[in-house]
Structure 1
Amino acid sequence: MIANHRGEIPFVVLIIPFLLGISVGLNFTHATDVTPLTILFHSLSFIFIALNLTYKRFNIYKYRWLGGSLMVGILLLFGCISVINYNELNRSTHFSKTTAQYAIVKISNEPVLKNGLFRFKADVKESVSNGKQTPVTGNLLITIKDTSAKNLYYGDELLIPANYKPVDPPFNPAEFNYKQYLAYQNIHYQSFLYPHQYAVIAYNTENAVVAYSLRLKQRLIQKFKAGMTDTSAVAVASAIILGYKADMSSNVLQAYSATGTVYVLTVSGAQVAVIYLMLSWALGFLWQYKYGRLIRAVIIISILCYYALLTGFSPAVCRAVLMVSLIVIGKTYSRYINSLNLLAVSAFLLLFYDPYFITEVGFQLSYIAISGLIIFRPIVYSWLKFKNKWADKLWGLCSLSIAAQVVTFPLSAFYFHQFPVYFLVSNLFVFIPVTIIMYTGFIYLLLPQIPGISNALAYLLDKTILIMNKVLTFMEHLPFASINKIWLSTTEYLLLYAIIISLFYYLYYKKSWLLQACLGCLLLLSISISIKKIYAQQSNSIAFLNLHKHIGLVIKNGTKAVVISDLSDTDKNYRYSIQPYLDSSGISTISVYNLKQDIQSAFVLKKGNLIQFMNKRLVLFNKDLSDAPLNKKLKTDYIYLTNNPYAAINSINKNYVCQLLVIDATNSDHFISSVIKQADTLQIKYSLLKRNKSLITVSNE
């Protein structure tokens, strides 16, 4: 289990209020004045130090809770202050707070080409206005549509126009929050550039060590491409060994995700463990020498740090390297090591460096998975006993997979909304090929090009990955391969963890109150899910979605929905913006129609541009709608204005009486401003979707 007493795991105890403080601070990241919190932090720290110096005089040792309470308060405030101060928008020198014509930026990560666009993160160094340069700070996401951008590298300095814009928030329900995702990387603005809108003014001005590592990574990826024949195999090898996922296809990624093995595509503790085991075996002879232990520790830690550098200092690798290094140091000096305490130390150090690490899904998953293996895996392993050595080893692997999958299930369901049913089989299967891939890949990259040997290693790597991909793709398409459309609220997510923790502890300690707590949380979770299902079955709505250049209407009747859009259900924009809303709303039956199709379903009737849904009437007003006057004005609830129809307001005013005019994002800015001006004059109520959240009208009639 965790430990015999709390003295073995001091950092586990101390990191809890620190994590809580960071979590609280994330909700107040735009607080510009942290002076009151800072004063309180220093006051509590002073009191804590003073009490520890005078505890004998005042007989304070009687009040054990006093020191602990002060420490909790200090760490909570420290976490809160650190995350607020880390937000670059709270700095007076941020580039968004100065007016400029141009900006000098430095590329701070590796430019990636995807869908014909080069995208990279840049540090804004100076703003330029009327020839005057002012030092500024801040990160900027730059996207360039220009083939010559392939010559840009980490460390290059560019002169760009200062026409950056804030990142858009999600406009549709359940849509991926890209704005928040970038904000947690301290990126709040973006710039889109075309040819001749930027100029390189300096080359290779950034950290030489990081630049070397990124260029070396590219050379190693090119070595994979030169020796291996299949592009998907190259992408998987680059992801598993080097952490480079830009070439990964969505189909391959989906196969790994649906089978619960997507973690193998992320450079993390598994790769560090393989390197550590390889080095431990190779350097085992050093134990017999006087300074052999120290030399062994220095070599292992140095190589692990070099591997972290090679992967671009991935947080997962840094975490694993830090933890393994602590274990190596402990073993070198024959210290007792509590793995959970070391895990807490590594988390504390990483979060001290960058408190936003806590928001990364990979960071959360890996820490929870490792904690689960340390705490729960022994419990699972104790359930069955085998006398046969190989059966026992197989059960050991099964217990490993069960503990990791169970403890990460709430987090995976919360973020990815699915659960792989065959996770045990798929995880057992990938164990052998992934081991072969990692060892073969490392040897292939480390060895110089040797005719015959290099070709054989590349062939083995190629075929192993292809076999693994085919088997996982087959498993992905098996009946009931995964449970999808799992949408948990934050409360349900926490209840799930409470159920898992209390159940496992009950199985270990056999305390009745733990079982009662587990059943109580299970009851609350069941009630919450039931309420959501009842609401989904009884609610009816019309959703006018903001799809930028596309049209999207979702008419919902309980768990059934009709989607009217110019997008097919296989389009990536449909999957990104429409499908999440359908899934999160509990819709199980979906019918997709294009704009010109007539509809006659159980709850929707569409004839031409007129739609009837229960007692609601809607008109699709586009260029196809005739401008001929009607015999009398038609009463309608909504008029959906799309694709810049000519003389829209005049025609609407003559032919319709509507409660609300909905102007979608397919209309041009010029057309929208004209329509809004006329609507205000005629006192027509309207709702604008462009650069605004989607409109959802709810009706239970």
Structure 2
Amino acid sequence: MQNREPCMIAAHKGEITVVVLLLPFMAGIGLGLGYPGASAAALAIALLVSSIFFALLNFGYAKLGIYKIRWLGGLLVTGILLLSGWLATVEHYELNNADHFSKTPAQYLVVHINSEPKVKGDVVRFTADVVQTIDKGKATPTSGTLLIAIKDELATNLFYSEELLIPVRYAPVEPPYNPGEFNYKRYLANKNVYYQEFLYPRQYQVIKAGKGNPVIAYALQTRQNLVKKLKANMHDTTAIAVASTLILGYKADLSNDVLQAYSKTGTIHILSVSGGHVAIIFVLLGWALAFLNGNRRGKIIKAITIILLIWSYTLLTGFSPAVNRAALMISMVICGKTFVRYINSLNLLAFSAFVLLLYDPFLLLDVGFQLSYLAVAGLVVFQPIVYEWLEFKNRVTNYLWTACSVSISAQVITFPLSAFYFHQFPLYFLLSNMLIILPIIVIMYAGLLLLLLPPIPCVSTALGHILEHSILLMNKVLYYVEQAPYASISKIWLTRTEHLLLYLIIIGLFYFMYDKKKTWLLKASVVTILLFCISISLKKVRSSETQSITFLNLRKHTGIVLKNGDSGVVVTDLNDTDKTYQYAVQPGFDSIRLINYRVIKLADNIRLPWFIKQQNMLQFFDKRILLLNQTMSGQSIPRNLHIDYLYISDNPFMDTIAMKNRILIIDGSNSDKYIDKLKNIPVNCKILKRNKSISIASKP
């Protein structure tokens, strides 16, 4: 049986000092994210006073008898770390900067592209640093980050570090308007981006290049050249996209079908260059430089070489949080082994998190950062416990069980977070991860050899063939698993409370498995499971008893959802394959587990026990809705006709008399001028354009 590190659940908090110190720092970041407008000066003064007081107490430790008050030192350190995290977050929050571009009137902006432009369809997207505003010919230095999207074929040639001159057309990022819709505004805010701008041809001008970090520019250019090398030696576009993503972290060419297959089989982690990829490179470098193990100087040279090469690879893959964490941890492990010192793995993990969060506190909200650290923490803490469940004397069987215990530990600890963010759980994750172990190793080593070796026709062709067919084989296996019955549980929508309860259940049960004497943990876990089940049941009961009408904000499209318990109807002009439907309508159904629903087109008629649609008239129980659009042009609305809601779209003729005593729902297809006219009429108007959807409870 192989030698392994013992279970890392520390018997004493002194074994995981860095972990204990990281917690108040993270709490401070949480306060900063919740209250970013706090005074940086006040926080800095409080931090300085606390630090001076702590230093004075240490100088008078024996003289003042402070050692008798053991908790005082810990309290001060906790306060200092909490204030440090809060101050770091407030300082990092770019809207607090007095020179932020949004606070300066301007006609034009000078921006530096600070990320690799991504092409999707005919639109190029990237973030840029706003370095100047220009107003009436006067340039003013500014700061801040702007998300820019350009619909122009020539924009595909834009590159990191180029300087652009653009007009001031930016606007705040819009929030989600419909139930269950992805919160893109929060996603960008978590990256410290709050404004976006959409441009068309001839609305931007490239001023100069080379305004960014030359090391990053070189790395991105090198990565693009390596992607071209993969394309030159491979033929299948899907295989090329997977190879570029898996080896180099270049995700621009990855299709949604491939992402879905990897996501539903629990193998999406391999498409994010992270610890596993860095570990493979570490093993390869360790084998290649084994000849330096003969003496101490050779070991030091080997350690420095491996660390430099690992960080070079990290730079090449875009400095993602997962790769940074892995590179930091492996660098410290290498240093520890080189100087024959043992360091607790949880301390290494916590230290790397502390360094990254000190650089960018907003990483605490990054999903990749959270999943990465949770997965490694699960491996360190839970994997030894899972491994002890079974014992195999056969070497091969033992190796397979070790791999299974790794997969189980990582999947269990990340399940609540994955379910919370991605609303699904792959049931065959263990099988999928076992089936791709060998292909992944072949893909990584064949790909690295292909990219590192100079172009040798026969060798490059052979490596490209091996790489391509290994990826195609892996994809085929995963597609089979994806199509298997009950491959995944989807439409999992957890509240934050349920998410927390799941983690309490997992931690409690695993700790009980580690120390079975703590029977109170088992009892507490059972109570927590009961609370979780009650929460899920109440949510389901409330949903099954709800009758409601929801008018969706689909911009220039119509969307009305009529819910009767577990059944529903959506009246819309969209097809269920349309991207807008899948992005803005479908998530709302999934979030309330509405499975029995029908999509009704505007021209269709239907009669159900609780819903009738006849031309432009809808009746949902006792509520009536009239669709007032261009199809009713020239038709008058009977004054004595009972109508609860007039749904107005496409700027129809205004019958001001018919509009009285009725609620008007005005969608985004109407012009601003038309909406302004309606506002001047003394009627009850509810405007969907640039507003959240309107939901109205209705009872039979």
Give the TM-score range, shorter chain: over 0.9
Cα-to-partner distance string for 1:150-192 (whole Å, 9 max, x where unaligned)? 2221111111111211111111122111111111212111111
AA matched with 1:697: I
Whether contact under 8 Å (1:619, 1:638) holds in the other structure is yes
Matched letter for residue 188 of structure 1: Y
In 2, Cα distance between the equivalents of 1:549 and 1:603?
Answer: 28
The counterpart of 1:6, out of the listed 13, 16, 31, is 13
Residue of structure 1 equivalent to 2:363: 357
Instruction: Please report how far the alpha carbon of residue 626 of structure 1 lies from its aligned counterpart in structure 2 after TM superposition.
Output: 4.7
Q: Which residue of 1 aligns with 2:650?
A: 643
User: Structure 1 pair 323/563, CA: closer, same or farther in 2 (3 Å)?
Assistant: same
Deviation at 1:699, TM superposition (A): 2.7
How far does the alpha carbon of each residue in 1:274-326 deviate from its partner, in whole angstroms, 9 at most, with x for none? 11011111112211124011101110001011101111222211111111000
Match of 2:520 among 509, 513, 516: 513
Q: Which residue of 2 aligns with 1:537?
A: 544
Higher mean alpha-carbon deviation, 4-13 vs 562-571, is at: 4-13
- Corresponding letter in the other structure for 1:590: Y
1:32 Cα deviation after fit? 5.3
Say whether residues 1:115 and 2:121 are aligned partners. yes
**2:615 aligned with 1:612:** no
Instruction: Give the whole-Å Cα distance in 1 for the aligned partners of 2:698 and 2:658.
Output: 26
Q: Give the aligned partner of residue 213 of structure 2.
A: 207
Q: Which residue of 1 aligns with 2:44?
A: 38
What residue number does 1:58 align with? 64
Give the corresponding residue for 2:231: 225
Residue 345 of structure 2: which of 339, 347, 372 is its match? 339
Alignment partner, residue 671 of structure 1: 674
The letter for the 1-side match of 2:607 is Q
Identity %: 52
Shift of the alpha carbon at 1:656? 5.3
Counterpart code for 1:515: L
Do the aligned residues in 2 keep the contact of 1:638 with 1:658 (CA within 8 Å)?
Answer: no
Letter of the 2:649 counterpart: T
- Residue 657 of structure 2 is matched in structure 1 by 654
Task: Write out aligned runs for 1:222-261 (5 A).
Answer: 222-261=228-267
2:460 corresponds to which residue?
Answer: 454
The one-letter amino acid of 1:154's match is Y
Seen in structure 2, the aligned counterparts of structure 1 residues 636 and 686 have a Cα distance that, compared at 3 Å, is: same
| Structure 2 counterparts to residues 257-296 of structure 1, below 5 A | 257-296=263-302
Q: By how many angstroms is 1:657 displaced?
A: 5.1
Q: Distance in 2 between matches of 1:551 and 1:28?
A: 38
What's the CA shift for 1:627? Answer: 3.2
Aligned counterparts of 2:537 and 2:457: Cα–Cα separation in 1: 64
Q: Deviations over 1:403-430 (max 9, x none)?
A: 1111110000000000101111011111
- Which of residues 556, 561, 566 is equivalent to 1:554? 561
| TM-score, with length taken from structure 1 | 0.97
Match of 1:564 among 571, 595, 602: 571
- Unaligned stretches of 5+ residues in structure 1: none
Aligned: 1:96 with 2:102: yes
Offset of residue 658 of structure 1: 4.5
2:687 maps to 1:688: yes
Which one-letter code corresponds to 1:24 in the other structure?
L
The equivalent of 1:144 in structure 2 is 150
What is the letter of the counterpart of residue 495 of structure 1? L
CA distance in 2 between counterparts of 1:495 and 1:467 reads 39
Q: Which string of whole-angstrom CA distances, capped at 9 and with x for unpartnered residues, describes residues 517-570 of structure 1?
A: 111211111111111111101111111111112111110111111011111112
Which stretch has the larger CA shift, 420-429 or 568-577?
Answer: 568-577
- Tell me if structure 2 keeps the 8 A contact 1:634–1:655: no
Q: C-alpha distance in 1, partners of 2:47/2:591?
A: 41
Find the aligned partners of 2:27 and 2:576 in 1 and give their Cα distance. 41
Structure 1 range deviating more: 167-176 or 4-13: 4-13
Structure 1 contact 319–346 (Cα < 8 Å) conserved: yes
Among candidates 165, 177, 192, match of residue 186 of structure 1: 192
> Map of 1:626-641 to 2, 5 A cutoff?
626-641=633-648
Q: Which moved more, 1:139-148 or 1:92-101?
A: 139-148
Q: Which residue of 2 aligns with 1:159?
A: 165
In the other structure, the counterpart of 2:139 is 133
**Hey, what's the Cα distance between the residues in 1 that align with 2:90 and 2:564?**
44
CA RMSD of aligned residues (A): 1.3
CA contact (8 A) 2:621 2:699 kept: no
Check if 1:582 corresponds to 2:581. Answer: no
Question: Aligned to 1:9, what secondary structure does the other structure show?
Answer: helix
| Deviation of 1:586 (Å) | 2.5
Q: What displacement does 1:61 show?
A: 1.2
Equivalent in the alignment of 1:407? 413
Cα separation, partners in 2 of 1:244 and 1:631, compared to 1, 3 Å: closer
CA drift at 1:259: 0.6
Matches for 1:369-388 after TM superposition, within 5 Å = 369-388=375-394
Q: Distance in 2 between matches of 1:25 and 1:142?
A: 27
**SS across alignment from 2:278:** helix
Query: Given the superposition, is the C-alpha separation of residues 631 and 169 from structure 1 closer, same or farther in structure 2, using an over 3 Å criterion?
Result: closer
- Cα distance in 2 between the residues matched to 1:47 and 1:630: 78
Letter in 1 for 2:53: I
Using the size of structure 2 for normalisation, the TM-score is 0.97
Q: What whole-Å deviation, never above 9, does each CA across 1:92-121 have from its counterpart, x for those lacking one?
A: 010000001111111111111111011111
Q: CA deviation at 1:670?
A: 2.1
Q: Distance in 2 between matches of 1:195 and 1:348?
A: 44
Cα drift, residue 35 of structure 1: 3.3
Name 1:697's counterpart in structure 2. 696
2:330 matches 1:324: yes
Distance 1:612 1:393, change over 3 A: same
Give yes or no for contact 1:414–1:493 (8 Å, CA) kept in 2: yes
Equivalent position SS for 2:161: coil
Q: Contact conserved, 1:636 with 1:658, CA < 8 A, in 2?
A: no
Q: Secondary structure at the match of 1:118?
A: strand
The answer to which of 632-641 and 266-275 deviates more is 632-641
What is the Cα deviation at residue 676 of structure 1? 2.0
Separation of aligned partners in 2, 1:483 and 1:121: 35
Q: Distance in 2 between matches of 1:480 and 1:290?
A: 55
Using the TM superposition, give the Cα deviation of residue 68 of structure 1 relative to its aligned residue in structure 2, in angstroms: 1.2
Judge which range, 150-159 or 531-540, deviates more: 150-159
How far has the Cα of 1:576 moved from its partner? Answer: 0.8
Cα deviation for residue 205 of structure 1 reads 2.1
Residue by residue, what CA displacement relative to the aligned partner does 1:232-291 show, whole Å, maximum 9, x if unpaired?
100000100111111110011000001111011011111110110111111122111240
User: Distance between the aligned counterparts of 2:311 and 2:637, measured in 1?
Assistant: 76
Shift in Å at residue 674 of structure 1? Answer: 2.2
CA contact (8 A) 2:618 2:624 kept: yes
Unaligned runs of 5+ residues in structure 2 are 1-7
User: How many angstroms apart in 2 are the aligned matches of 1:658 and 1:530?
Assistant: 40
Q: Alignment partner of 2:630: what SS? A: coil
* 3-state SS, counterpart of residue 634 of structure 2: coil
The residue identity in structure 2 corresponding to 1:156 is E
Letter in structure 2 aligned against 1:12: V
Give the secondary structure class of the aligned counterpart of 1:238: helix
